[in-house]
Amino acid sequence: MSDSDEQYWYDDRTGEVEKGMLSPGVHRIGPFATAEEAAAAPQRLRERSEQWAAEERDAD
């Protein structure tokens, strides 16, 4: 069993957390150490996106 089989991924197409690389790569977000971290992926992505947008505005 590889390390990727022990990690968790968030499938942005289905909104489900998966253990191991089950979905096509284009739909996988991760890896995460826990299922809880993977489930929080959408919120984390929103927060980072907002942060990056703010940094770009501040740089202009």
CA distances from 51 to 25, 54, 58 (A): 25, 5, 11
User: How do residues 18-57 score in pLDDT, each as one tens digit?
Assistant: 999 999 999 999 999 999 999 999 999 999 999 999 999 9
Residue 2: the pLDDT is 61
Q: Are strands 28-32 and 16-19 parallel, antiparallel or unpaired?
A: unpaired
Overall pTM > 0.85: no
Q: Are strands 28-32 and 8-11 parallel, antiparallel or unpaired?
A: antiparallel
